[in-house]
């Protein structure tokens, strides 16, 4: 029987997710324990405009299970979800920003944009579902 260090396994899986997405150093793995389950919110940080957005959430029986589900998601999400382009400005800025999201529908794309912030902190100018390539 091989002993596996949960912290080493967690770090390995997080690195695999970062490498697969190609955005090392721009991801936050936010783990929340609730009612015997672990929710993993994967958050992206855009270095250009210093804003964070929800990439995806998964719920697992523990941290490793949630990470395994997230890794499986990132390996297949491009085939399963629509691509959206959202143009927006932050309340404290006048610069028009463009962000891209994968989501099942427009509501989920907007939820990812607004994740963790006051709805009045961002003004959305357009949401477009991108054509399938």
SS3 119: helix
Whole-number pLDDT of residue 64: 95
The 10s digit of each residue's pLDDT in 6-55 is 889 999 999 999 999 988 789 999 999 999 999 999 999 988 888 899 99
Handedness of CA 82, 57, 96, 50 (dihedral sign): negative
Whole-number pLDDT of residue 44: 95
The 10s digit of each residue's pLDDT in 83-130 is 999 999 998 888 999 999 999 999 999 999 999 999 999 999 999 999
Burial of 6 (0-12, 13-18, 19+ CB in 10 A): exposed
Delineate the domains of the chain, giving CATH numbers in brackets.
1-80 (3.30.160), 81-133 (3.10.20)
DSSP assignment, residue 26?
S
Residue 1 predicted with pLDDT over 50: no
């Amino acid at each position: 029987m091989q002993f596996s260090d949960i912290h080493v396994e967690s770090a390995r899986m997080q690195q695999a997710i970062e490498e697969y997405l190609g955005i090392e150093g721009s991801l936050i793995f936010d783990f929340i324990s609730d009612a015997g389950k672990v929710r993993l919110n994967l958050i992206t940080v855009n270095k250009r405009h210093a804003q964070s957005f929800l990439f995806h959430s998964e719920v697992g029986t523990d941290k490793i299970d949630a990470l395994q589900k997230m890794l499986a998601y990132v390996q297949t999400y491009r085939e399963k979800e629509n691509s959206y382009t959202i143009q927006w400005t932050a309340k404290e800025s006048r610069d028009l920003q463009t962000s891209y999201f994968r989501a099942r529908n427009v509501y989920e794309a907007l939820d990812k944009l607004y994740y963790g912030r006051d709805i009045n902190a961002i003004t959305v100018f357009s949401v477009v579902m991108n054509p399938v390539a």
